[in-house]
Structure 1
Amino acid sequence: MKFARYGDRGAEKPALVDGDGNLRDLSGHVPDIGGEMLSRLEALKGIDPESLPLVAGEPRLGACVGQIGKFICIGLNYADHAEESGMDVPPEPLIFAKYTSAICGPNDPILIPRGAEKTDWEVELAVVIGRPAKYVSEAEAMEHVAGFCLANDVSERAFQTERSGQWVKGKSCDNFGPTGPWLVTPDELGDIDALPMWLDVNGTRMQSGSTATMVYKVPFLISYLSHFFTLEPGDIISTGTPPGVGMGMKPPRYLKAGDVVELGIEGLGTQRQLCVADD
């Protein structure tokens, strides 16, 4: 199954994506795609998409999950990205966070913050937790997954690495967390360890990779994180990016107002963002 959320920011409605890619309104069955509802997505399998109202036009898409509690990110989790960054793969997963105020829809603009100098892109596979997970084993981990989605871990490198303190301030600026367009259940997505992924800037391919080069795989990450804190329904784990980020280019290349970023992962849809100055 594929789910989406559509409508004005803060007032999104739940939708099912039918076999033709159309949005079908789910408001008559669930209040939202988020929170405790994520543990009961299987119950929606019996709904005939044709019985749901067709959503007309081309509404704004919101983040594909609502009521997000934690947005957890994994750094340097692709061997080829660590190499381009001139860093070793960490001996344990490198964990940082995005504040939830960064989360936005998949096609909302990237807001380049005041004082930004090095705004960068990162296409990532994100995992959405569906059931509470605490001290779970790798073997049990996938039982706690509601689904997967596409994310762009937008990053301001000057804030992230050249200012004192933690990475979070270079990762959490407004609209630095485009998420969606769809939440895709594990049974529909298939093999998560062999998903092609890509990102273009102004029509030029920057990132072209695969989840095959991910160092710490999804079940391990869920188990690992659950030994430090409880993962709750609606928490998102963004699992890292392949090579091709602006910071790794020679010379480096960063985003500016007017640039257009497009990205996708096989089976998870695509995103498109216009970069604008956040005045």
Structure 2
Amino acid sequence: MKIATYTADGTQFYGAITDAGVVALSPDFPQWETLYQAIAAGGFDQLVAAVAGKPITHTDFTYDMVMPDARRILCVGVNFPDRNAEYKDGSELPKYMSLFPRFASGFTGHDRPLIRPPENHTLDYEGEVAIVIGKGGRRISQDDAYDHIAALTLCNEGTIRDWVRHAKFNVTQGKNWDSSGAIGPWLVPFTDAAQLDEARILTRVNGEVRQDDTLSRMMFPIRREIEYISTFMTLQPGDIIVTGTPTGAGARFDPPKYLKPGDVVEVEVNGIGTLRNTVEDELV
């Protein structure tokens, strides 16, 4: 099952993606105007169950960021051993994970362009798995962590590299340019630990594989991420955790391979799908 947010005939909907088109679900759930509201209210399972037997409603549509009104998006940085080594600073593997916030305005949808701003052209890609919290909680144990996940999706955590260096301890500026990244194409219900434990991330730029790794090699597995984050903040339904990117981002090549207009970036994870975006310069 694939549940997406999309626009058709100038109206935004959420619904189920099929080979034949989309089954709109939002008209049947007026109490939840958005997919985020449905998840925050604990209604994601109701959406999935409602798809059976419903007709296709749209075949001409565009994907939006899967949860465009998401309130909290927390990203885990430098979460693969080779990624830590890329920094070439001689540091040991970290004891605690690096975290930073992103905002929904920084993401676009599947098959939409990532936007390169005129102020700086160091737009980079980072392919990642993102989890959506379905059951809130505080101080969640690793044993119980997967019980709190409602769905999985993909993220291209696009970054303006020069702007993450504007301050000594702050990457927020480089991580939140409008439409610099993407989340989507859809949400896949989380039903089995193997969906994460056996997941492999591939990121391609113009067909060339740039990132290729498995979630099993994460320094901080997703169970640990949920445990650690919920120690200091109460996780809420609808929260998104972007779980970390493998080695191979454009900044780590010599010379760097930053994204430019016309490029096509694909993030693929078995069992979830492929998130595809082009690149365009911002019109100013």
TM-score (norm 2): 0.89
Give structure 2 stretches of 5+ with no counterpart: none
User: Given the superposition, is the C-alpha separation of residues 269 and 189 from structure 1 closer, same or farther in structure 2, using an over 3 Å criterion?
Assistant: farther
Offset of 1:163 from its aligned partner?
A: 4.9
- Of 190, 195, 203, which residue of structure 2 is paired with 1:186? 190
Partner SS, residue 83 of structure 1? helix
Flag the 1:111–1:44 CA change in 2: closer, same or farther, 3 A: closer
Task: Please name the residue that 2:114 is paired with.
Answer: 110
Flag the 1:230–1:10 CA change in 2: closer, same or farther, 3 A: farther
- Secondary structure of 1:146's aligned partner: strand
Does the 8 Å contact 2:21/2:59 carry over to 1? Answer: no
> In structure 2, which of residues 74, 96, 102 is the aligned counterpart of residue 98 of structure 1?
102
Where 2:62 maps in the other structure, the secondary structure is coil
| Residues 1-279 of structure 1 mapped to structure 2, 5 A cutoff | 1-7=1-7, 11-18=11-18, 20=19, 22-30=21-29, 31=32, 32-38=34-40, 39-49=42-52, 51-87=53-89, 88=91, 89-163=93-167, 166-187=170-191, 190-278=194-282, 279=284
Cα distance, 1:28 vs structure 2: 3.7
User: After alignment, is 152-161 or 204-213 more displaced?
Assistant: 204-213
> C-alpha offsets along residues 62-93 of structure 1, whole Å, 9 cap, x if unaligned?
12224311110000001122222325432101
Q: CA–CA distance in 2 between the matches of 1:274 and 1:36? A: 30
Unaligned runs of 5+ in 1: none
CA contact (8 A) 1:129 1:144 kept: yes
Give the conservation status (yes or no) of the 8 Å contact 1:125–1:151: yes
TM-score by length of 1: 0.90
Aligned length, in residue pairs: 277
Indicate the RMSD between aligned Cα atoms, in angstroms.
2.3
> In the alignment, is the contact (CA less than 8 A) between 2:20 and 2:56 conserved in 1?
no
Q: Is the 8 A contact 2:71 2:103 kept in 1?
A: no
